[in-house]
């Protein structure tokens, strides 16, 4: 794994930890930093990172806390508190 990929993993963990502690602003900071590292190094973001972050407001999503999850037509629909929705195939 490249240094940049490791850095992204680490930032993902920090974002998750901050969100767990209820510090959404710090979580966003780490999410944005991870996106920037990925961009600068032309790396894709890990799937779990993409699933648990909002594309619109960079929140780290915690279903039941700042996001709602429902199933619809074989898809998982995640709605962030900001209103942004993301859809994923159920078994992907
Ligand atoms: Zn959002």
Is 54 assigned to a binding site?
A: yes
Is 59 assigned to a binding site?
A: no
pLDDT for 92? 55
> What's the helix, strand, coil split of the chain in %, to 5?
45, 20, 35
Q: What is the CA(79)–ligand 1 centre distance, in A?
A: 8
pTM of the model: 0.91
Q: What is the CA(73)–ligand 1 centre distance, in A?
A: 23
Written as tens digits, the pLDDT of the chain (92 aa) is 799 999 999 999 999 999 999 999 999 999 999 999 999 999 999 999 999 999 999 999 999 999 999 999 999 999 999 999 999 987 65
pLDDT for 90? 79
Helix (H, G, I), strand (E, B) or coil at 19: helix
Host domain of residue 84: 3-89
For residue 66, which of 77, 81, 46, 82 has the smallest C-alpha distance? 81
Q: What is the CA(71)–ligand 1 centre distance, in A?
A: 19
Domain count, the chain: 1
């Amino acid at each position: 794994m490249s240094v940049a990929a490791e850095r992204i993993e680490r930032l993902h963990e920090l974002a998750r930890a901050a969100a767990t502690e209820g510090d959404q602003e710090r979580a966003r900071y780490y999410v944005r930093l991870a996106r920037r590292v990925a961009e600068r190094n032309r790396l894709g973001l890990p799937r779990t990172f993409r699933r648990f972050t909002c594309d619109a407001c960079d929140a780290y999503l915690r279903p039941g806390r700042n996001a709602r999850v429902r199933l619809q037509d074989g898809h998982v629909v995640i709605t962030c508190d900001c209103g942004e929705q993301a859809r994923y195939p159920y078994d992907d």
